[in-house]
Amino acid sequence: MNSLARRLFSFKRIAYLQNYNEYLKTKSNVERAIPVVDGMTFRGIKDKDIPRVAQLITDAYSDDLSIVVGRNNLRYVREFWIKTLNYDNTVKNNFLITEINNEVKGLLKLQDFAGQEKGLPISETLKIFPLSCVGKFVLTGLQLEITSIRSEMFEPYIDYVTVDPKARGQKIAYNVMQYCEYIAEKRGAKRVSLIVNSDNTKAINLYLKLGYIITYEIKCPKYLNAGHQINFKMEKYL
């Protein structure tokens, strides 16, 4: 980990996954089946989905993003995501969505660290945001890039899970997580991990139900150094 990350992050080991060879002794030999849920379709993103996906991401992180760009400028974040998803097919291919009644109701971003994803160039980002907030947005992106602990994780990693607030209570997150694990295993993954805020008890309980365990407590900066927060790294074998 680079020296900047060491100063900004602190780690506390909470638990270890069991020995992988021991885990294999208990793992079923039956091949993992693609999840099938009545009324839900799991698939990758199509071009027609991009505006909807961009809106779901923006809405899900509107509180944090408002610190960076201001609540009145969130429409530019949506435009940023539309351009990002249109710019790089690798980014787009790592999104998995849940569709109900022909409408995207949930999504999951799986980062597999094949090193092929390309972010939107800064020159293009500058064209999207007004001068009043573009600097903060770019600096925040650079801060997350430089200090990201995820760059140290050479494993399939779930970036985030988002569900339309109007569609909550239908086990969308639970089922798209299972679909993600199916895809990750098909790509050759032996384990998968994620990071969740320690205050997000609903998400933590969901991940525990799916078999994840908390392996690290991580103290890390919020956007633009607006204080610190505690996150958990959670992992499971596939």
- What is the domain partition of the chain in residue ranges? 3-237
How far from chain centre, in Å, is Cα 96?
11
The H-assigned helical ranges of the chain are: 3-8, 20-26, 50-60, 62-69, 74-87, 89-93, 122-128, 131-147, 172-186, 201-209
Q: How far is CA 137 from CA 118, 133, 204, in A?
A: 17, 6, 28
Running DSSP on this structure, what letter comes out for residue 19? P
Q: Which of 200, 184, 187, 167 is nearest to 237 (CA)?
A: 184
Please give the pLDDT value at position 151. Answer: 43
Q: Which of 157, 153, 122 is nearest to 137 (CA)?
A: 122
Structure tokens given for 155: 């494993």
pTM confidence score: 0.85
pLDDT, greater one: 192 or 152: 192
- Chain segment 193-236, per-residue pLDDT in tens: 998 889 999 999 999 999 999 999 988 776 655 567 888 999 99
CA distance 26 to 22: 7
Q: Is 166 helix (H, G, I), strand (E, B) or coil?
A: helix
Taking domain 3-237, whether its CATH number is 3.40.630.30 is answered by yes
Please give the pLDDT value at position 178. Answer: 93
Please give the pLDDT value at position 138. Answer: 73
Please give the pLDDT value at position 8. Answer: 66
Average pLDDT over residues 15-43: 89
- Chain segment 76-130, per-residue pLDDT in tens: 999 999 999 999 888 888 999 999 999 999 999 987 666 678 888 888 888 888 8
CA distance 35 to 101: 17
